[in-house]
Amino acid sequence: MEPQWILVLSAVLFTMGAFGVLWNRGAITILMCVEIMLNSANLTFITFARQFDQAEGQIYAFFVMTLAAAEAAVGLAIVIALFRLRESTDVDELNLLKW
Amino acid sequence: MLKLIWLIPLLPLAGVILNGVFGRRLPLKAVGTIACLAVLAAFGISIGAILELAELPEGVRQFETDVATWLPLGDLGTGSDLTIPWGFGLDPLSSVLLLVVTGVGFLIHVYSVGYMSHERDYARFFIYLNLFMAMMLLLVLGNNLLVLFVGWEGVGLCSYLLIGFYYDRPFDERTGLTCADAGRKAFIVNRIGDFAFLIGLLYLVLEFGTLKFTELNTALAGHHAPGWMLTGIGLLLFLGACGKSAQIPLYVWLPDAMAGPTPVSALIHAATMVTAGVYMVCRMSALYSATPEAMAIIAAVGAATALFAASMGITATDIKKVLAYSTVSQLGFMFAAAGVGAYVAAIFHLMTHAFFKALLFLGAGSVIHGLHGQQDIRKMGGLRSKMPATFVTFFVAMLAITGIPGLAGFFSKDEILAGAWNSGNRVVWVVLSVAALITAFYMMRLTWLVFFGKYRGDESTGSKAHESPALMTIPLMILAALSVVGGYVGVPAVMSGWVGLGDVNKLHHWLAPALTEPHGAGHGAEVAHEAGMETMLILVATFVALLGIALAWMVYRKDGAAAAWAKRFGPVHHLLRNLYWVDEFYELVVLRPFYAASRFFAAVDRWVVDGLVNATGVTAEISGQVIKLFQTGLVRNYALMFMFGVLVILYYVIRAI
């Protein structure tokens, strides 16, 4: 497959994720969209690793996966704590931290 | 003893520290004893030192000792070393002051123990009083003008503290001043004079490069300074003296200084502090003798003050205020004497005045004490039989101040009048003679209204009127004795000539070497060839005194007669009752413009200076108000902004490639 199509797919996924973060109000959905963005980035890394025959891109992809796992763990824990407190995961209702 | 003179001011200071630290816990008697002993010890050392000084030969009767270096200024481009030490000096001039200050001061301390025994803040009173003694002695003993100035300011401070001693009481219903206001008034008026004094000091440094009296005298003996410079310096220093010694135009604080306790009025506002100006002028006699213009102004101001203040004494109804105007007037006599070059006469009168005026004030205090705080002479009368000791001593002082022959005031006042006559300044002589007439008048009026006639106050106070305790009357008697014999140290040559004695004017011989008299002007004791003229002057002075007493007796002999006289001289009486509206005049000319200017600059400060500072703050605040709107608390807004941020950065990064 031509690498440029993979990059286009990656860009489409990233844009979907970004708009998903902006559009959605549910905390779980937002976390999922963030995962999509991270994985689109992974896709880009791997594409270029194959294109240039170098291992760094793959290594970075592993790092990002680790990071994504940690992020999901912490994020989900926060969401559960929030839900226990407010019985809702709507981020627009969680607006107390301001002036 | 001479080497110990630096101890003299320190002893009262030790009293201040002792009473200041332990005063509240000590019994009243201990506080009073400490204060009195401190002054007594200073008196003892003073006598010892002066006896030792007297043994030195006449030409070199002077002693100086520098205890420590104060300001090591070095050479300030004036060509001479301007190091200011904590220097003390004793010479005939300061010795007279020293004896008066410690001697009279001690008597007044003893008197205060009795007078203040019913007051709260007993310890505070004696702390102030001792501090005053320390500062006054520093003023007298300083061997350079800057140490003198420290004492000068120190006594001013103590004067302020003691005038406002009853800080929570009202004082004067005519002007609505409280005692604290009176203290502030004294302090601020003095500040005007002191400012001029300080400028004078700086010019002296510029011109002569030294502030030591001995060096100044040497420098002035062969001076090359321009005359106008000397006159200017002399007048600046004299303005300082005007403030401290209550002369026109700065006399207004002294009558209000009567808000303080009576012993304070006796010590500070009659006997010692207010004479500091006279002392300073005599101390700088070398300067003044070199500038006839300044001398003429001093003589004019002194004579004018003598007359002006005496006239206000006629109508005052507060026993202490009569004495206050009398003090201003007598100080005018001293300045007039100094102004015509009769420095010895000025110091002589300073000394005798300290005796009889302290006595008058203490006598007044005894009356006030006996009448439980009554100060209005219209509500007194007939106290002669109830307070015999006070009456007799007060009467002696009255005779002394009016100048009845044989008493202290007679000799000193005569010497001043003779000095004025001999200087050729006949106008001064005439003015002083009239002032002496008025002095005799108001003193007789005061004595008559207080001690003679019928009692006019309310019966409850009158029946309880009593003689003061011995602690108060004994100082009165000692001062009365001094008011009688104090004049015999300075009997003019012409009088001793009458009884076949030679020149026995001890004071003149003692003081003359310490003073520089103007060239050419004759002096009272030295013009024996004009003995006939001087005898005439003495007769005139005596006649004037008797005339004043007789007039007052005529007016006040009968109750109600005085009111008729007041009616006959209606406008004059009104003028005097309102004290020539001088306070009102100052209010209009000085205070109102000053307040207006203050308000203007307050507005400038508030709207312009503060405005700029506030504008800075307001700008920051408004920016904050705007920027805070971006912090919504909504996570998705942040994400949106974040994305825009990233897009912008991305745009610039890509464009750079």
Per-window interface: B 618-657 vs A, CB < 8 A: 628, 631-636, 639-640, 643
Q: Which of B307-321, B389-403, B512-526, B577-591 has the lowest mean pLDDT?
A: B512-526
Residue B170: asked if its preceding bond is cis (omega within 30°), the reply is: no
What is the pLDDT averaged over residues A42-70?
92
DSSP B254: H
SS3 B142: strand
**What is the distance in angstroms between the CA of the first residue and the CA of the last residue of chain A?**
52
Query: For B229-259, b where at least 16 C-beta lie within 10 A, e where not — what string?
Result: ebbbbbbbbbbbbbbbbbbbbbbbbbbbbbb
pLDDT recorded at residue B157: 94
Q: Is 90 exceeded by the pLDDT of residue B382?
A: no
Q: In this complex, which of B632, B640, B643 lies closest to A98 when CB atoms are compared?
A: B632
* Residue A89 in tokens: 């995961």
Structure tokens belonging to residue B500: 């076949």
Give B508-554 as a DSSP string. HHHHGGG--PPSS---GGG-GGGHHHHHHHHHHHHHHHHHHHHHHHH
Question: Which pLDDT does position B527 carry in this prediction?
Answer: 47
Is the CB of residue A79 less than 8 Å away from at least one CB of chain B? Answer: no
Taking the mean position of all CA atoms in its chain, how far away is CA B521? 29
pLDDT score recorded for residue B525: 45
Give dist(CA B255, CA B258) in Å, integer: 6
The dihedral sign for the CA sequence B572, B578, B581, B583: positive
- Distance in angstroms (rounded) separating the CA atoms of residues B369 and B386: 13
Cβ atoms of B466 and B574 closer than 8 Å:
no
Of A50, A70, A69, A67, nearest to A10 by C-alpha is A50
Residues of B in contact with A98 (CB under 8 A): 631-633
Query: Per the domain annotation, does A98 fall within a domain?
Result: no
Q: What is the token pair recorded at B492?
A: 């003019």
Which residues touch A93 (CB under 8 Å, ≥6 apart)?
A: A86
Q: Looking at B163-172, B527-536, B578-587, which range is the least confident one?
A: B527-536
Distances (CA, A) of B60 to A87, B247, B328: 106, 34, 35
Tokens 């004079």 identify what position? B193
* Token pair recorded at residue A55: 């291992």
* Cβ <8 Å between A98 and B633: yes
Confirm or reject contact between B616 and chain A (CB < 8 A). Answer: no
**What span, in angstroms and rounded, lies between the C-alpha atoms of B557 and B534?**
34
Q: Which of B632, B634, B650 is the mutation pick for testing A, counting most A CBs within 10 A?
A: B634
Q: What's the ipTM?
A: 0.84
CA neighbor of B471 nearest in space, from B110, B77, B78: B110
Eight-state DSSP code of residue B275: G
Distance from CA of A59 to the nearest CA of B (A): 25
Q: Has residue B13 got a pLDDT over 50?
A: yes
A97 CB within 8 Å of a chain B CB: yes
| Rg (alpha carbons) of chain A, rounded to whole number | 17
Query: For residue B292, which phi and psi values (nearest 5 degrees)?
Result: -60, -30
Q: Is residue A63 part of a domain?
A: yes
Distance from CA of A1 to the nearest CA of B (A): 27
CB atoms A98 and B636 under 8 Å: no
**Residues whose CB is less than 8 angstroms from the CB of residue B577 and which lie 6 or more positions away in sequence, other chains included:** B315
Q: Which residues of B touch A94 (CB under 8 A)?
A: 633, 635
Closest chain A C-alpha to B610 CA, distance in angstroms? 29
pLDDT of B295 reads: 92
**Closest C-alpha among B439, B239, B249 to residue B333:** B439
Q: Is the pLDDT of residue B526 over 70?
A: no
The minimal CB distance from A96 to the residues B628, B633, B643 is found for B633
Give domain limits for chain B.
1-290, 299-569, 584-656
Q: Name which of B631, B636, B640 is nearest A99 (Cβ-Cβ).
A: B631
pLDDT over 70 (residue B29)? yes
Are B633 and A95 in contact (CB < 8 Å)? yes
Instruction: Return the beta strands (E) in B41-144 as ranges.
Output: 63-75, 81-90
- Confirm if B286 and B217 have CB atoms less than 8 A apart: yes
Q: What tokens were used for A21?
A: 């973060």
DSSP label of B268: I
Distance CA A73, CA B412 (A): 109
**pLDDT 10s digits, B87-97:** 999 999 999 99
Q: Give B454-506 pLDDT, tens digit per residue.
A: 888 887 777 778 888 888 899 999 999 999 998 888 887 777 777 777 677 88
| Counted domains in chain A | 1
Query: Whole-angstrom Cα distance, residue B505 to residue B500?
Result: 14
Q: Would A57 be classed as within a structural domain? A: yes
Residues in chain A, how many? 99
Give the domain CATH number at A71.
1.10.287.3510
CA distance B62 to B70: 22
Cβ-contact B205, B211 below 8 angstroms: yes
Residue with tokens 């689109």: A40
Q: Which domain holds residue A9?
A: 3-93
**What pTM did the predictor assign?**
0.80
Measure the CA–CA gap between B357 and B352, rounded to whole angstroms.
8
Q: What pLDDT was estimated at residue B521? A: 47
Instruction: State the pLDDT at residue B587.
Output: 86
Nearest to B285 by CA among B113, B92, B18: B92
Q: Write down the pLDDT at residue B223.
A: 67
Q: How far apart are CA B306 and CA B293, in angstroms?
A: 20
The nearest alpha carbon in chain A to B631 belongs to A98
pLDDT at B79: 66
* Residue B39 CB neighbours (<10 A): 26
